Amino acid sequence: VAAADQTAALLEQGEALLQEGRVVEAQDLLMRVRAGATGTDRDRAVELLAAADRRLRNMGEAESSLQKAELALVQGDLRKADMHANAV
């Protein structure tokens, strides 16, 4: 039950990130959730990932690169952050 509660909380977090416009971060979180989720939680993760994918396709390249750079920075990948930031 604890794992299911944690998965539900992560799904809520992913949905909140999408609502805040933090699409790249939401996509990263939801892909990790989907990998370990089952049943309705997995279905919800797939549904939210589809929404994130649609938002990414409609997002400008500059915004997408900035969000990818920000996520890489938070994750400690400075090389990747620099690469995405320089793409802007």
- DSSP secondary-structure letter at 88? -
Q: Which residue has the tokens 């992913």?
A: 14
String of DSSP letters for 29-61: HHHHHHHH--HHHHHHHHHHHHHHHHHHHHS-H
> In whole angstroms, what is the distance from residue 67 CA to residue 34 CA?
21
Question: Band of the pLDDT at 2, cuts 50, 70, 90?
Answer: confident
CB atoms within 10 A of CB 17: 20
Give per-residue pLDDT as tens, 54-85. Answer: 999 999 999 999 999 999 999 999 999 999 99
Give per-residue pLDDT as tens, 24-55. Answer: 999 999 999 999 999 999 999 999 999 999 99
